[in-house]
Chain A
């Protein structure tokens, strides 16, 4: 196929920053680590991940192609881009084999939780989050997407572990321990289901913590994750855990802070189509993260309310699937 140039419609602020820094003289060339029909994952040495996607998923690290131009002129990134090849990158264009992405007219995407700051967080109650979660997973089930059994078997222990870590954490940020990370890599799919869940949960807690105190609550040491799952999933996990969450998660956090349950459900519904079932596992992480975030926002929070909410959230999901809680 002959070479093509496509326009990017948006570029995440963090992606632009990384490209700018990188193009100032990094000697190591970036690497294309995966190519899918709609998405290319690129690793920038010393910078992190850069995601080129034809899906309308905005994130600080994403370069979003104009969807209609992509559909009409290419349709499949695999036609022109090959894995393990070395792209050329500068703030004006990204060259991926036979595909050139023109960044000159791309709108810079800043996540709503940063764009709309300062946000004074008057959060939705844990009980109301459980109700939103119940509705969300009913809708996802109706549409045909469910949480994986292997994930459901460990999620109660995982959220308990994360809540304990956050509630005990006084000197921010605290390192995420193996109690929560030991299941990284669990589940099927390009990004295993536990990775989708855990990355979102950590991202939400950290973004809410940034909103509340200007600092993330938690950090993940990369070596604790990199050997446990496929590289691209680990890199995505680390990005999310740092707070580089997509627009649906960011919108969910803003709705949570504004105390709006209906917009929270609406934002989370945008996760349903993501991946095979990545989106619903990410949504489980967001809901868990939001419940746990109450202890980030209020030091005198009633622990029992949080614990009960976390327990009830997944019990209700199990009941939707006809599994006894």
Chain B
């Protein structure tokens, strides 16, 4: 292939990838138990956020969440025994993304955990995510005490059947399920950026779902408990937004010649990215420590390097990339409103498209920056900047703050090199 024609092929491929990303139609369609619905999640296997990592290199919060999941599954009854099973490899753990699963922070999904099932009605893909536990001491931040396990069990025994019954009931009126892209598009006009701020999304979700929760025939006490849990957890839709984003990016994945990033994720030790035309090959670099706002009693010295699959939201063109739509996010992650706007503007420099459906009123209803192009990252030296929760570096403690983090350049350089090798450039 000649020099000029490869560039034409890249342009065509990137246009197609970003069009598919934007045209994807993610719907919440069902609930299920992970081992029954997630591909290849059987036996004593756990899934975790980010690229692959060994037990020795795993971060504190990831270790804590894996330990908690082993206890939750009943494979061990103490943290020490759980740790031994993980160290010896009797319990295996691997990244979520190859299973079309996403999870915030440690992102640990175990076989008996309930999961949301999302379906792309346009491109026919499925994606899965666990249910959000709320803020503070939770499994996804590496906490594994009794209160954490008890909450997870309540979620499996009460919240899961309620949501299952509710979405079944909802589908009687809306056969495709709950259109989550519509929810995100609306929420971006209501002050959410849909990574760390889901206040409006949660209200919209409850507005849509509440009648079906209470008409589903589920025990009224359980329905009310579930409603209150969702209403009081302003970050509840995060996991669902991530599953929607996973479907959007999945639609853009595996397109020959495309240089668009289809996964950006972190495991608390490394960040990892996938490139559309390079399949499921990981390109990794060190995960940075976020700059943030700290919960009382904590500071940067307590912070673990960034962790979680939640940067799939930015990969799909919202979250931190849409901060200009969400000035109030600053009260949670720090910085200034001007910065929120500035960050969105900066991200236009490294993305291929402006989103057709996700728009930002403050920027004259411009589309959000969508489709990180590794060529533009290497051209500018600008790397994706996202907002994020911050976990304590030690296992068992939980969330200590929230902030902003910028990805390192290394994985983008490595990906461009691999792309050039693959295409003989």
Contact = CB atoms under 8 A, between A and B. Distances in A.
A142 B425 contact: yes
A320 B378 contact: no
Interface in A15-66: 55
A210 interface: no
Contacts of B409: 270
Nearest to B290: A68
A274 B409 CA distance: 13
Interface residues of A, number: 26
A75 interface: yes
B339 A269 contact: no
Contacts of B338: 75
Interface in A133-156: 135, 138-139, 141-145
A67 interface: yes
Contacts, number: 69
Contacts of A71: 339, 342-343, 346, 385
Residue of A135, A138, A269, A274 contacting most chain B CB atoms (<10 Å): A269
Interface string A68-96: 11011101000000000000000000000
Interface stretch (B49-57, B91-99, B194-202, B412-420): B412-420
A145 B413 contact: no
A312 interface: no
B404 A273 contact: no
B420 A73 contact: no
A66 to B, nearest CB: 9
A67 B417 contact: no
A216 B338 CA distance: 48
Contact of A139 (B3, B346, B420): B420
> Which has the most chain B C-beta neighbours within 10 Å: A72, A135, A270, A272?
A72
- Looking at A71, A265, A320, the one whose CB has the most chain B CB atoms below 10 A away is A71
Contacts of A73: 335-336, 339
B416 A55 contact: no
B375 interface: yes
A175 B271 CA distance: 48
B380 to A, nearest CB: 6
B275 to A, nearest CB: 13
A71 B425 CA distance: 35
Contacts of B380: 273
Nearest to A322: B3
Contact of B417 (A139, A270, A273): A139
Interface centre among A67, A143, A269, A270 (most CB of B within 10 A): A143
Interface of A: 55, 67-69, 71-73, 75, 135, 138-139, 141-145, 265-266, 269-270, 272-274, 320-322
16 contacts: A71-B343, A71-B346, A72-B291, A72-B335, A72-B404, A73-B335, A73-B336, A73-B339, A143-B416, A144-B375, A270-B409, A272-B378, A273-B379, A273-B382, A274-B381, A322-B4
Given A141-B3, A143-B416, 8 more contacts: A68-B291, A72-B339, A138-B425, A139-B417, A269-B417, A270-B409, A273-B381, A320-B3
